A and B are shown apart, each in its own frame.
Chain A
Amino acid sequence: MPQPDLDLILEINSVGFNFYNEIALKERKCYTLSCDFHLKNQEGEIILINQKITPLFLTDDGKIWKAICIVSLSSERYSGNIKIYKRGGAGVFKYDLECGIWNFTEKLKLSRREKEVLGFSIRGFTINEVARVMNVSPDTVKFHRKKIYRKLGVANISEAIVFATNNKLI
């Protein structure tokens, strides 16, 4: 792991546990922490990955005995993006590294139409094919796509798909 991201991980670890220790004991398993950092692979190339971690088994006094980590390719441009989700929760806690505080934001929501467009795009449908199966014009599909990009802060459909899956939006 490159040095700046090693420092980042140590900070995430520290602020993550501070957050965790404030959670009521019986709710501790409902939370998941997500973040992005760089890894050097065997060829020396640097890749950005997303890691999600959630407690699996706790000790009687609520410490994390075992945890599960899920690692996938990141959909973000840069490392960081420290977020904590609660199962079934209405939003996400995002950690502001500069100010050192957690900010709560409402969970992004996609409309039924937007989810449909994403769903067909995952299956490799072109704009014209999506328009045909949804019984709308290609311009309407483009309109929905642009709205999705704006909501998710992404530039194209493949980024949108990865973002939506990484963030459990579909």
Chain B
Amino acid sequence: MENINNIFSSKNTIHTISDDERKQTGNYLEVIKAFSRTIYTGIYVIDYQKNKFEYVSENPLFLCGHTAEEVKEMGIRFYFKNVPQPDLDLILEINSVGFNFYNEIALKERKCYTLSCDFNLKMCLNQIWI
């Protein structure tokens, strides 16, 4: 038990959480930002209602020489600019068959699924990368 108390360090003892402090949990992007600080992969969030990228992480893997803010502003146009034509067609097909599959899933199971695919991106120096 002594060890357990040591892990929950006295330097970080918290007695109560105020209502204002609790409001932070409503900002789900904070969770995604925390993930992006700890893992090497790029993360971005698509908002289908606004047809925009809501968040783009700073990992350079996905940015093709742009800043995260620029990619966020570009949104869907990012694909058209940085994906070579054959793979752009592929992405459109993936999008279409992906949603066909998704729409067949029972409502309460829809969040259990993940779609994975690979496509090329044009790097700033005209390289092709995956």
Contacts and interface: CB of A to CB of B under 8 A. Distances in A.
Interface of A: 6, 9-10, 13-14, 17-18, 21, 29-30, 32, 52-60, 63-65, 68, 70, 85, 87-88, 112, 116, 119, 123, 164-170
Interface in B30-52: 30-31, 33-35, 37-40
Interface in B47-78: 58-59, 61
Interface residues of B, number: 30
Classify the interface of chain A: helix, strand, loop or mixed. mixed
Contacts, number: 75
A60 B37 CA distance: 21
Interface of B is mostly: helix
Given A60-B20, A119-B129, A168-B40, A68 B3 contact: no
A9 B4 CA distance: 11
A100 B11 CA distance: 18
Interface of B: 3, 6-7, 9, 11-14, 17-18, 20-21, 24-25, 30-31, 33-35, 37-40, 58-59, 61, 125, 127, 129-130
